[in-house]
Every structure is written in structure tokens, then in C-alpha cells.
Structure 1
Amino acid sequence: MKKITLLIPLLLLQSCQWFDAKAPDKEELLQQRLKEINWNEVSSYPSVAECNVIIDKEQRKECFFETMARLVQERLDNDTISMLYPGLDTIKVKVKVHADARVEFEPGFEKDSVRYDTVAIDSIIKSRLVNFPPVEPAQKEGVPVTTEFILPVVLNVN
């Protein structure tokens, strides 16, 4: 019986060491997590309704870019841009999808572009690309973020 009574306090002392383990430092965990995040790529790309059913990240990205190019092209196809500037067959449109799901379009021209009236083309593009279908913003670690990309749009010259 004496052995049991001596053994119980020893076990209790030993078990206290289990509770003495230190919790990981919050700052250390934060730094470790920040190193794991790829800051150059989003977790999920922007998307439109018709691409939401696709699970694969790369296929969903392709679907989004193809759909955006098609929608922009459809809105600019029968426009005065191709009539005013018959030599202009492709416009690079900078698309900015904001974290709050707003979409902005801006034509991209070479810095020394004097062959075209960039102000007129800019106003035509902005007037035609209103009321665009809803676009879900890209996400980084579950948080919506703003993304920009250049979309080459081929103008159909009739």
C-alpha cells in the first residue's frame, strides 16, 4: 500500500509536464503561413456564371478568358471602330475586375500610337462595354482581390 501511495504523487508530478507544453507563438505561426502563400498567383481566378460549373482551376481560367473575349468582341463587332479605322484589326483591352465585382475596360495602345484617335476609340469602347454580365472577382486565400489582365480583341472587318 505504501508503494501505491508513493506512486500516485509521482504520477501526478509527471502528468503536470504534459500541461507545461508551450503553445506555438502567434507571430511565429503567422510568419510561417506568410512564407507558404504564393503572392504572385491568386487562389481562384475571376469567373462568370457559365464557367462556375467547371472545377479544374486551369479549365475555369480558360473558360473565363474565352468568354470575356467573346463577350467584348460581340459588343464591338458592328461598331464604328472598324469603319473609322479599317487598318485596326486587334485592340488590346485592359480589363480590371475589382474586389467588389466592378469591371472596368480600357483600351491599350502603344505609347507612341498616333495613327488612331485613342480618345475616340476609348469612348466607343467604354460606351459599348456597359451593363456587362456579373463577374465574380478573383480570390486570394478566400478574400476577393482586384485583378488586371490584357485581353486581345479581334475586330471583324466587314
Structure 2
Amino acid sequence: MKQICVFILVLMLTSCEYFNVKKTSSEAILNEELQTFNWNDVDVYPTFSVCDSNETKNEKTACFTQVLTTHILGYLQNKSIVVTHDVTDTISLKFQVSETGMLSLLNIEADSLIIKEIPHVKELIYCSLDSLPKVFPAIKRGQQVKTEFELPIIIHAN
């Protein structure tokens, strides 16, 4: 009988550990979540309404860049640009789309030849963005977020 009582006592003392609940703070949960969070990728890239019919993320991204590139190049082609030498070069445009869908041009990197031949190219690019269709912001985990991206534009002028 004594052995059974000792066994039950030992069992009761060790089994209490199974009922202890470990408390985790909200800060610990947040820190753990932030470590697993991929900050360089979004669930849905910024988009235009014409890109809504596309199904996959890659198709929507390609549609967005295509619409933006086509719009800027179309605007530049409608302007009469006179050059003294043939120009074939790439301009790198750095954009930011805010949480509200405002598209901002942050930086224009152009070769010195383009600047020399088309000195007002930056103003033309800025003006081309005035008539851009409405941009819908990127979405990350159900929230609209700010995104930045770079877009190369190839300029051909004869």
C-alpha cells in the first residue's frame, strides 16, 4: 500500500508540469512573425484596372510594367524630338507607389548622351505620368502597402 501511495504522490507531482501553460508575450509573437516575414515581396503587385483579368501574380506584374512602359513610350513618340545623332540607350526609372495608389517618380538615371541629345527628356517623362490611368497599390497580407520598383525604358531616336 505504501508503494502505491508513493507512486501516486510522484505521479501527481510530475503531472502538474503538464498543466502549466507557458505564457508568451505579444512582443515575442511579433518578433517571431517579423523574422519569418519576407519584406521584399508582396502578395499582389501594384496594378491598373486593365490588368484585373490576369490570373497569376507574374501576369499581373507583366501587365503593369507593360502598361506603364507603353504609356511613357507612347507619350514620348507623340512629341517631336529632334536629335543630331542616333540615340539607342536605356533610361532607368525608379518609381514608388504609395498605399493610396499615388505613383511617384523618384529617380531618373540617363546616360550623358541622352541628356545631351534630349535635354528635356526628364520633363517629358514627368509629363507623361500626368495622364496615367489610376494605379491600385500593392497588397501584403491584406493591407495596402508602399512599394518601390525600377523600370528600364529603351529610347530609340533617329
Taking structure 1 as the reference length, the TM-score comes to 0.70
Q: Is the 8 A contact 1:76 1:155 kept in 2?
A: no
Greater Cα offset, 61-70 or 118-127? 118-127
Letter in 1 for 2:73: Q
Q: CA deviation at 1:107?
A: 2.9
Q: Is the 8 A contact 2:71 2:128 kept in 1?
A: no
The 5 A counterparts of 1:112-127 are 113=112, 116-117=115-116, 120-127=120-127
Matched residue, 2:60: 60
Query: Given the superposition, is the C-alpha separation of residues 95 and 119 from structure 1 closer, same or farther in structure 2, using an over 3 Å criterion?
Result: farther
Higher strand share: 2
Query: Given the superposition, is the C-alpha separation of residues 119 and 19 from structure 1 closer, same or farther in structure 2, using an over 3 Å criterion?
Result: farther
Runs of 4+ in 1 over 4 A off after TM superposition: 17-20
Q: Is the 8 A contact 1:43 1:138 kept in 2?
A: yes
Q: Is the 8 A contact 1:77 1:156 kept in 2?
A: no
Residue segments in structure 2 that go unaligned for 5+ positions in a row? 1-16
Whole-Å Cα distance in 2 between the matches of residues 28 and 104 of structure 1? Answer: 36
The 5 A counterparts of 1:48-127 are 48-81=48-81, 83-84=82-83, 86-89=85-88, 90-105=90-105, 106-110=107-111, 113=112, 116-117=115-116, 120-127=120-127
Q: What RMSD in Å do the two structures reach over aligned CA positions?
A: 2.9
**Cα offsets for 1:62-101 (capped at 9, x unmatched):** 12112211122111112234x2365333433333222221
Could you say what secondary structure the match of 2:115 adopts? coil
1:144 aligns with 2:128: no
Could you tell me the percent identity over the aligned residues?
27
Matched residue, 1:4: none
Q: Is the 8 A contact 2:93 2:150 kept in 1?
A: yes
